[in-house]
Amino acid sequence: MKVLIVEDERSLAAEMEAFLKKAFYLCDLAYTAKQGLTKMEENQYDFILLDLGLPDKDGLHVLGEARKNCPDAAYIIITARGQLEDRIQGLDLGADDYLPKPFSLLELQSRMQAIARRKFAVSDSVMALGDFTIDMNKRMIYFGEEEIVLSRKEFDLLSYMLLHKNRPLTRMQLSEHIWGNFSDDDYDSNYIDVHIKNIRKKLAAFSSVEWLQTIRSVGYKIKV
C-alpha cells in the first residue's frame, strides 16, 4: 500500500519511512503542507500520516484540503498537541485516527492495520480466495497445507487486488500502489501483465483461478 508521510521533523519522517518500508509499504515524504498537498494532487494514497505542526500551514487546514484530492485515503493525525479540541476537530474533518507524539512505530503499524481491516471489511488476517488461503500477516498463500511460493511483488499484487475484490483495477492503479510512480512510458509496458501471468501459472497448478479476471482494455479484478 502507498503511504504519504507529511512531517517536518525529518529524523522522525525518516524513521517512519524506514520502518514502514520494512513492512512492505511504499512511502513518499513531504516536509511542508505545500509539498504534501502537491503530492496529493499528483498521486493517490492508501494512507496519509499528517503532522499538525507544519511550518507553513496548520495540519487541520491541510486535512480539509487533502480530502478533496485523496478522498479514499485513510488519514492518521500525528502530533505533539494533546488538546481534546484538536482531536475532535481532526476527527470531525475526516481523520480516521489520532496518534500523539511520542509514539511507538509498532503502534503506528497496528493502527494502520486496524484501519485497513475496517476500511476493507476484513475481520481476520487469514482470507479465503477460491480454494486458496492467504495469510496477510505472514505474507503466505496456501492450497490446503501446502505453501505456494510467490515473489514479493506477486504477493503484493494479489493481496492488494484481494483487498479491493470485485472492483476493476487499472494497470496504472496497480503500478502506483504496488510499485510506486512510473513514467508515462512505463504504463505502456506489459509489466503488470507479466506478473498476473506468473500468478495464474503458479496457482493454476493447484486449482482453478477463474476468480482472477481480465477486464479488457482496463486491467484486472478478483471476483468473489
Using one digit for the tens of pLDDT, what is the confidence trace for 167-184? 999 888 888 777 765 444
State how far the alpha carbon of 145 is from the alpha carbons of 110, 148, 201, 224, in Å.
28, 10, 19, 22
pLDDT at 81 over 70: no
pLDDT for the residue numbered 150 = 94
Last residue of a domain, one of 94, 120, 146: 120
pTM of the model as a whole? 0.75
- pLDDT attached to residue 15: 96
> Which residue has better confidence, 23 or 211?
211
**Cα distance between residue 112 and residue 50, in whole Å:** 13
Among residues 71, 99, 120, the one where a domain terminates is 120
Q: Are residues 147 and 83 in the same domain?
A: no
Q: Say if CB 175 and CB 187 are below 8 A apart.
A: yes
Domain containing 212 equals 126-222
* Structural domains of the chain, count: 2
CA-atom Rg of the chain in angstroms: 19
More confident residue, 15 or 89: 15
Q: How confident is the model over 110-153, as pLDDT tens digits?
A: 999 888 888 776 766 788 899 999 998 888 999 999 999 999 88
Residues 105 and 130 placed together within one structural domain of the fold: no
Q: Are 3 and 48 in contact (CB under 8 A)?
A: yes
Residues 140 and 112 in one domain: no
Q: Give the rounded distance of the alpha carbon of 91 from its chain centre.
A: 20
For position 74, which CATH number holds?
3.40.50.2300
Residue in this structure with the C-alpha cell 487533502, named with its chain if needed: 66
Instruction: Provide the pLDDT for residue 178.
Output: 75
**Where among 120, 146, 180 does a domain terminate?**
120
62 plus 111 within the same structural domain: yes
pLDDT at 185 over 50: no
Confidence class for position 82, pLDDT limits 50, 70, 90: low
Quick: pLDDT tens for 7-48: 999 999 999 999 999 988 889 999 999 999 999 998 889 899
- Do 198 and 145 share a structural domain? yes
Pick from 122, 131, 127: which is nearest to 139 by CA?
127
Which CATH number covers residue 213? 1.10.10.10
**For residue 187, what pLDDT band results from cuts at 50, 70 and 90?**
very low
Looking at the fold, whether 7 and 98 belong to one and the same domain comes out as yes
Asked whether residue 143 falls in the same domain as residue 194, the answer is: yes
- State whether 41 and 84 are in the same domain: yes
Residues 211 and 143 in one domain: yes
Q: Is 152 in the same domain as 112? A: no
Same domain, 141 and 205: yes
Instruction: Quick: pLDDT tens for 47-73.
Output: 999 998 899 998 888 888 888 888 889
Report pLDDT for 189: 55
- The confidence score (pLDDT) of residue 180 equals 67
Give the count of beta carbons closer than 10 Å to the beta carbon of residue 204: 12
Q: Is the pLDDT of residue 215 over 70?
A: yes
54 and 103 both lie in a single domain: yes
